Every structure is written in C-alpha cells, then in structure tokens.
Amino acid sequence: MKHKTLTQFLIEQQRLENALPADVRLLIEVVARACKTISHHVSKGALGNVLGSLDSSNVQGEVQKKLDVLSNEILLEANEWGGNLAAMASEEMDSIYPIPHAYPRGGYLLLFDPLDGSSNIDVNVSIGTIFSVLRAPAEADQREIEEADFLQPGTEQVAAGYAVYGPQTVLVLTVGTGTFGFTLDRETHSWILTHEKISIPEDTSEFAINASNMRHWAEPVRRYIDECLAGTTGPRERNFNMRWVASMVADVHRILCRGGIFMYPWDAREPERAGKLRLMYEANPMAFIVEQAGGAATNGTQRIMELQPQQLHERVSVILGSRNEVERVTRYHHEAQR
C-alpha cells in the first residue's frame, strides 16, 4: 500500500478541505522538520552529551535541561526565517520572540513547549514537543507584536500538534478537520500517515492522575477517583485501571489511541495557582487535538478552549479525554458549586 506523507496530506487538506492557508502548511512542514531534528538529539541520549541539567531556570522557575534549551533553539532557528510568522512564544522564554527585522514578517503566531516531560528526559521515558498556531491580529500589521496579541482563547487556534518521542516518533496534528497521526520513517526520514481520523472512545475505564497529590485535591476530583478505586464494589460497578507517565504528551497519546481520562486538576499545595499545566502551549493545543478526535477538555467547570487567557504563561486545571468521563468529572464540579 502506498503510504501518504505529511506533505501529501497537507496539500490535500489545502485542496480538498480548503482548511489550510499556504502559510500554515509551510509552518507545519517546518515545525515537523524541527521535530525530526529534536527526535534525533533525544534518541542519542548520553551518546550525544545532551542529558542533564543546566544551572539556569525557565520562567516557571524550573531547572532547565540541556535538551529543553536545545529543542527551543531548534524551533526558533527553524521558524524565524520563513516569512509566515509575526512572533513566537515558548515555555522556555520569559517573553515573546518577535521575528527579527532581518526576516519578512507573516500573519501567524507560533507557541510551543519545546520539550514537555523534562523530568523524564534523563531516564529514557517518552517526552514530546507541543505546538499551537494562532493568527496575529490584523491591526498588528503596522506595529510591533506584543504579548497581548497572543492572549487569544483556544477556539482561535488554526492548527495544533505534538510530536511524541517514544519507541516510535509520532507527529499528531489537527487543522480543524479531525486529528491525524504520522509516524517518522527513520529510513526515508519522512512523516508517514499512520493514524487516519483518530477517534477517542467516549467511555473508558482508565484514568491518569498523579495520585500522590490525593490529599490536596478538591472534593469533586476526590469523589471521582474514589469511585474509580471502588470499582465493582462502588457506584461505577466496574473496575478501573490507572496510568501516569508524567509526560502529558505520552499520556494524551495513549488516550487518543485507546481512550482514557487525563487529569492534572487544581490542588491545595499552591491554592493561588489554577493548576500545574500551561494554558497557551500545553492545555489549548491538547484540547484542540482531543476535541477534534471526539473527546472533551475542561478545567473542571469550563471548556478549556473558551477560557480567555490573561497571561502568556498562565496555568490551568486540566481534565481531558473520553467525553463521557470528562463530562462526569465536570458535572461533579458543578454539583459541588451548588
């Protein structure tokens, strides 16, 4: 069977679904090529002198891994010259990165977490790159791009995707016409369509949460997980399984492949923080990908993609995956508010 490459898929999306402006197609091709380079460095591990931490921290105050910084640089250098972007933003950079005046400026904004799951880098567990594409406001054409131009709800995304660097390197992508997966063929170095129109089962018996935080959870989360743990002896009348990779990309990929619910909810450890994960370049792109695959994504009470961002690096509570389970957890939150 002739395999369809990412390039052929994107051209067809442009032609058949009219879903893809040429600038966005170029952007996705360039990001995908950068992910190939990141995959190469990740797979070299200790042989490539890329493991371990730097003595620097990112805007989140987290110690930066060598691969975090390298991956960020790869994405910046790959995307700054193309003429399709006005600016970029990254988990690894305090402020936005306007396209240098040496290059032509385009009409899109690219946001990314260059290497998500950093705690797993040095122990050979799957990690990934997450990205989101927004339009630059038209009125910004005549002025410098500002951080406020990025603060758009997730419903404004024109594309989103991730690359998971695991036993296979897989690129998962949506441009609003469904969610598709491409496996990197390491012999031809091509992205090959291997997951056509991914669909998340509406029901699941598998939850993903960091259970060590149990005593800090809000009541609705505690209620939901307690019911799962009660299994056939409780109100759900069936047993549940648990997975927690501590790499959002790996957990979300499993859910896209076989269903499940992923939860990183608000907890009382830092009550003023809405959650751990970042809205603009983790939760929003993953929510777009999951919704396009028939799943759901809320912060416990609201659809994540409808949240109005207030800050570039703001955090959010994340409940996403199989629609019926996400709706149940969200219902428990609404019941607790009454």
Residues that bind ligand P6P (CB under 6 A): 116-119, 210, 246-248, 264, 276-277
* CB-nearer residue toward ligand P6P: 191 or 264: 264
The least CB distance from residue 308 to ligand P6P, in Å, is: 22
The least CB distance from residue 58 to ligand P6P, in Å, is: 11
Tokens standing for residue 130 = 């997450």
Cβ atoms of residues 259 and 322 within 8 Å: yes
- Could you tell me the strand order of the sheet in which 206-208 lies? 241-242, 206-208, 261-264, 318-321, 296-298
The least CB distance from residue 185 to ligand P6P, in Å, is: 26
The least CB distance from residue 190 to ligand P6P, in Å, is: 27
* CB-nearer residue toward ligand P6P: 210 or 239: 210
* CB-nearer residue toward ligand P6P: 278 or 323: 278
| Beta carbons within 8 Å of 251's beta carbon, 6+ residues apart | 208, 243, 244, 245, 260, 262
* CB-nearer residue toward ligand P6P: 43 or 210: 210
* CB-nearer residue toward ligand P6P: 148 or 242: 242
The least CB distance from residue 183 to ligand P6P, in Å, is: 21
* CB-nearer residue toward ligand P6P: 30 or 255: 255
Find the residue with minimal CB distance to ligand P6P. 248
The least CB distance from residue 12 to ligand P6P, in Å, is: 32
Tokens standing for residue 314 = 């703001």
